[in-house]
């Protein structure tokens, strides 16, 4: 949830151009989906469903990185974006590790 909140805070600072708005929508959706799918995984009725939800969280982490990279062209400072990209990368690795250990 913290990652999604950080993304929303970051996104609110971006310009309100047509292109930026579309990228921000995708970024916020992907970031929010990470936590939502993790919660679903925690409540999964089967191991198969658990792994599927974790895989979706990993996929959304990768997608968040993609959209964050695109936002670099909208802002002059890249420091906050770099921190968020690193966090998305770490989430991706965590979910990958969970998947491997669940096999």
Element (H, E) at 34: helix 18-42
Instruction: Give pLDDT, residue 77.
Output: 66
* Domain span holding position 7: 2-101
Instruction: Give pLDDT, residue 73.
Output: 81
Contacts of 73 (CB under 8 A, 6+ apart): none
And the tokens for 47? Answer: 């191991």
| Distance separating alpha carbons of residues 9 and 40, to the nearest angstrom | 24
- CA-wise closest residue to 8 among 17, 37, 25, 19: 25
Mean per-residue pLDDT of the chain: 94
Give this prediction's pTM: 0.90
Instruction: Give pLDDT, residue 8.
Output: 96
Instruction: Give pLDDT, residue 103.
Output: 81
The enclosing domain of 53 has a CATH number of 1.20.1440.60
Instruction: Give pLDDT, residue 30.
Output: 98
Domain count for the chain, please give it: 1
Q: Sort 35 into a burial class: Cβ within 10 Å, 0-12 / 13-18 / 19+.
A: middle
Element (H, E) at 100: helix 79-101
Residue numbers in the chain where pLDDT is lower than 70 = 76-77
């Amino acid at each position: 949830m913290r990652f999604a909140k950080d993304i929303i805070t970051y996104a609110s600072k971006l310009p309100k151009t047509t292109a930026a708005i579309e990228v921000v929508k995708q970024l916020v959706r992907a970031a929010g989906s990470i936590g939502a799918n993790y919660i679903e995984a925690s409540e999964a009725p089967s191991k198969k469903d658990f792994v599927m939800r974790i895989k979706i969280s990993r996929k959304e982490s990768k997608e968040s990185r993609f959209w964050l990279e695109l936002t670099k062209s909208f802002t002059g400072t890249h420091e906050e974006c770099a921190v968020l990209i690193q966090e998305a990368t770490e989430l991706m690795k965590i979910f990958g590790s969970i998947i491997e250990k669940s096999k």
